[in-house]
Amino acid sequence: MEWFNIILYEPLFNTLMFLYKNVPGQDLGVAIILLTLLIKAVLFWPSLSAIHSQQKMQEIQPKMKALQDKYKDNREELSKQLMAFYKVHKVNPFSSCLPLLLQLPILIALYRVFFAGINIDPTTHLLAGDQVTHLYGSLRTAFESLQVNNMFLGFVNLTAKHNIVLAVLAGAAQFWQSRMMLSQRPPKVPGAKDEDMTAMMSRNMMYLLPVMTIIFGWQFPAGLALYWLVSTVFQVAQQYYYFKWHKPKQQQPGQPEVLPKAS
């Protein structure tokens, strides 16, 4: 799709090759790490907002359950009460999905970059001609003669699949990130079955996501696994920043609950 190339694939491909051309030693892995940090910096505030919304939704879950029980026989009124409830607590239930929705097309574009974009002629070590055409201006001129080394630190082929080391490291980072989020859940309300179910699902996802990450990291080009590893470590650091310095104080026991007025 032409619009996909113009909006995502070509900007990411050109940024990656610009970084490769200008980093000391022209190491493609270093260029991928820098590109990852650049992408995460652009998504920093939406991601921080998503972490806040996720935590807020966990904290207000018992109050939401009370509303759901109260208006379980009146779906229209329940919808109105929930909208008012979200407004009172200043939380958007969909905002936690925003970074994932933003990152998904980026992942697809990066897959194309690593799987097809970095297509190197084995005899000349130059980018294939059909890929050079996706470069802008001076970059296109430079890479008509500039050889490309697809190795990271001299021994990791970033365009090859089945790199188990990067896949396992990416999975371990995913487990670390999920475990940190689970450890920051608010205290469970005794007898709250919905919270028990949510906690069980969260624990299951804490193990399922790393396994899926390892599987995908094994099947995809190593450059994508490196991107996912660095991206997840960055997200861990971002979560640490949020929980240490940015997280609002939880409501103390005994304080009055703020609920929407019944209409």
Report the pLDDT value the prediction gives residue 28, as an integer from 0 to 100. Answer: 92
pTM of the full structure:
0.77
Burial label for 178, CB within 10 Å (0-12, 13-18, 19+), is buried
Report the pLDDT value the prediction gives residue 202, as an integer from 0 to 100. Answer: 61
Question: Across-strand partners of 151?
Answer: 157
Burial label for 153, CB within 10 Å (0-12, 13-18, 19+), is exposed
**Of how many residues is the chain composed?**
263
**Structure tokens belonging to residue 80:** 């109105």
Tens place of pLDDT per residue across the chain (263 aa) = 688 888 899 999 999 999 999 998 899 999 999 999 999 998 888 788 777 777 777 777 778 778 878 888 888 888 888 888 888 877 776 666 666 677 788 888 888 887 766 888 888 889 888 889 899 999 999 999 999 988 898 889 988 889 999 999 999 999 998 888 776 655 554 544 544 555 566 677 778 889 999 999 999 889 889 999 999 999 999 988 888 876 655 544 444 444 445 44
> Which residue is listed with tokens 């050079």?
132
Report the pLDDT value the prediction gives residue 98, as an integer from 0 to 100. Answer: 66
Report the pLDDT value the prediction gives residue 248, as an integer from 0 to 100. Answer: 57
- Cβ contacts of 51-55, under 8 Å, gap ≥ 24: 51/96, 51/238, 51/239, 51/242, 52/242, 52/246, 52/247, 52/248, 53/91, 53/92, 53/93, 53/95, 53/96, 54/96, 54/181, 55/184, 55/247
Report the pLDDT value the prediction gives residue 117, as an integer from 0 to 100. Answer: 65
Distance CA 246, CA 252 (A): 18
Report the pLDDT value the prediction gives residue 211, as an integer from 0 to 100. Answer: 93
Report the pLDDT value the prediction gives residue 185, as an integer from 0 to 100. Answer: 58
Report the pLDDT value the prediction gives residue 200, as an integer from 0 to 100. Answer: 63
Sorted by where each begins, the domain ranges of the chain are 2-246
